[in-house]
A and B are shown apart, each in its own frame.
Chain A
Amino acid sequence: MTAVVVTRAGTAGRVGLSAAGLLALLLAAAPYLVTSDITHTLVDLFVFVVIATMWNLLAGYGGLVSVGQQAYLGAGAYAVIALSVHGGINAFLAVPLAALAAGLLAVPLSFLAFRLHGGYFAIGTWVLAEVVKLVTAQIGPLGKGSGASLTTVSGYDPDIRVAYTYWLALAVAAGSVTAVYLLIRTRTGLQLTAIRDDGIAAEAAGVRVRRAKRLVYLIAGTGTGAAGAIVCLNTLTVQPESVFSVQWSAYMIFMVVVGGIGTIEGPIVGALLFFGLQQALSAQGPVYLIILGAVGVAVVLLAPRGLWGSTVGRTSISVFPVGHTLR
């Protein structure tokens, strides 16, 4: 019998992983090196990395194209207000609990959303997000339609507060990417990729398709909720119209599609590009949106698998190797 040897990561992958780890450590030192204005801005980048990574897990691996992930972003943000302002919990410690709350919200919503498929699923998730927003805007202690402020962090020195927020955001971003990477490497991760490619064939091969999709939906809800909690800490206010805005979904789709759907690196590339464009152009008003649209169209036409997927993704080089090579 032939010996069966399977390898998971080549040299490039080991180098890539080490580089990613080093980069995370370097970023962790930023509060000591740069001003709090810069770290405050970088939190936005980490939030983008998280929501893009989570949306990619959902759509790129689970085949669940949702336009309603803002439900979890908003729920995470509001959960920080509820836990900290009303529950008396430290605002920074409330972040993991807020993520968990968003994940719990995903359980009942998944049963509603999973009754629909394809385009109907997409619209259905949007409707659910609107419902979550409308319900939240009815809750008196949470400020109804005008929102609420995170008053419990006013005792912190601003620089310290921004540094804590920054570290938390970095940890959530690194944690999200790592969690998705480790998940995709497992047996379940391989099955998710199979589901995305052909759900019927996956079922015929014994894959528990529904269970795998629900798992992904819950993880994405939790991760997006963590991002929402960070948004709350960074902006210190929440408003239903902003944290539950469908614009978040547009951001997620833009970053993932432009970066490269179905790859772990792609959403990070997309988040970097989106963050860069936003920093460089958001003062330009409508011109910024036109350029954003043009970039999206150009990438879809010229590099349909996204910037990462159409370039490095076509080689065997990978920062986060997930494949199996039979020797």
Chain B
Amino acid sequence: MTTLVVDGLRRRFGPLLVADDISFRLDAGRALGVVGPNGAGKSTLLNLISGALRPEAGTVTLDGRDVTARSADERCRLGIGRTHQVPRPFTDLTVFENALVAAGAGGGLRRTAAYRAASAALDRTGLRKYANERAGRLPLLDRKRLELARALATGPSVLLLDEIGGGLTEPELRILIDTVIGLRGAGLAVIWIEHIVHALVEVVDELLCLATGRVIAHGEPSAVLGSREVREVYLGEELEEGIAG
């Protein structure tokens, strides 16, 4: 059973506190949604968990192992897969090779096993038909799918998703929701940052709301969405739209 434990994470950018004593625990097969206004520190939280950023204080523990001092690539090999909010494809490689890098490096697979993992990741994200295209030629939405494909090809036990649903049509969003539900069902622990709250609540077991780097609410989705603090930071607008949408 994979368990991710985040304890007392703290990080500052200059005078600005972007992560202020963030703690939570996430078990395998569970999904956590992260919401909060722009600049609340959502992506920073993901970066602290993935190792792209180091915290000033606090720890990240994976399966009882403290990974706080580990580099991003090491954490990936230990099972933390991530997507980037602004896609970062390997532009000169093909879509398939993008996934293959992840399967080989993050997944530690070779040859046929790597080919199979990369191919499966493309099947899962609907990118199979672009397999031999250069990734640099993909439009934005497919680049987002490629972020997910690459994260999946590493064979993660913890999956960190950063706004991969934005810009999708309703049917496309449906597919993405089902994919994530499937992954959670397969035993992955999922953390998903998303502004499209109605999509999130379909998938996640719990919701965490951040504002100015602090956790202002965490728990069962409807309770979090109903809490006064959460409604206040959203000024009662963006969030309700999300629920209604």
Contact = CB atoms under 8 A, between A and B. Distances in A.
Interface of A: 2, 4, 6, 187, 190-191, 193-194, 196-198, 200-209, 262, 323-326
A324 B102 CA distance: 14
Contact of B97 (A190, A208, A262): A190
B192 interface: no
A326 B94 CA distance: 10
Interface in B75-117: 76-77, 82, 84, 88-94, 96-98, 100-102, 104-108, 110, 112, 114-116
Contact of A4 (B76, B112, B132): B112
Nearest to B154: A206
Contact of B73 (A6, A207, A324, A325): A207
Contacts of A193: 90, 92-93, 97
User: Across chains A and B, which 8 residue pairs bring their CB atoms closest together, nearest first?
Assistant: A206-B106, A206-B76, A201-B88, A206-B105, A197-B90, A205-B102, A207-B105, A326-B131
Given A187-B104, A194-B101, A324-B97, A2 B88 contact: no
A326 B50 CA distance: 30
Given A204-B52, A206-B105, A324-B115, 18 more contacts: A4-B112, A190-B101, A191-B105, A193-B93, A197-B93, A198-B88, A200-B88, A201-B90, A204-B82, A204-B84, A205-B153, A206-B106, A208-B105, A209-B73, A262-B92, A324-B97, A324-B100, A325-B96
Contacts of B92: 193, 196-197, 262
Contacts of B71: 203
A203 B71 CA distance: 8
B72 interface: yes
B52 A202 contact: no
Nearest to B72: A203
Contacts of B110: 187
A202 B101 contact: yes
Contacts of B89: 197-198, 201
B240 interface: no
B73 A208 contact: yes
Which of B104, B114, B131, B150 has the most chain A CB within a 10 Å cutoff?
A: B104
B53 to A, nearest CB: 11
Given A198-B89, A204-B82, A6 B101 contact: no
A204 B50 contact: yes
B150 A4 contact: no
Contacts of B100: 190, 324
Contact of A191 (B84, B101, B131, B154): B101
Nearest to A197: B90
Contacts of A200: 52, 88
A204 B97 contact: no
A202 B115 contact: no
A154 to B, nearest CB: 50
B91 A197 contact: yes
B123 interface: yes
B119 interface: yes
A100 B101 CA distance: 30
Which of B50, B102, B112 has the most chain A CB within a 10 Å cutoff?
A: B102
Given A193-B90, A197-B89, A197-B92, A205 B132 contact: no
Which of A203, A206, A208 has the most chain B CB within a 10 Å cutoff?
A: A206
A266 B12 CA distance: 46
Contact of A190 (B52, B76, B93): B93
Nearest to A316: B132
Nearest to A325: B132
Nearest to B88: A201
Interface string B158-184: 000000000000000000000000000
Given A206-B77, A206-B107, A323 B94 contact: yes
Interface string B117-128: 001001100000
B195 to A, nearest CB: 22
A201 B101 CA distance: 10
B93 A194 contact: yes
Contact of B119 (A204, A209, A326): A326
Contacts of B88: 198, 200-201, 204
12 contacts: A4-B116, A6-B96, A187-B105, A187-B114, A190-B104, A191-B105, A204-B82, A205-B105, A206-B107, A209-B73, A326-B115, A326-B122
Contacts of A4: 112, 115-116, 119
Contacts of A201: 84, 88-90, 150
B73 A203 contact: yes
B82 A194 contact: no
Nearest to B102: A205
Contacts of A262: 92
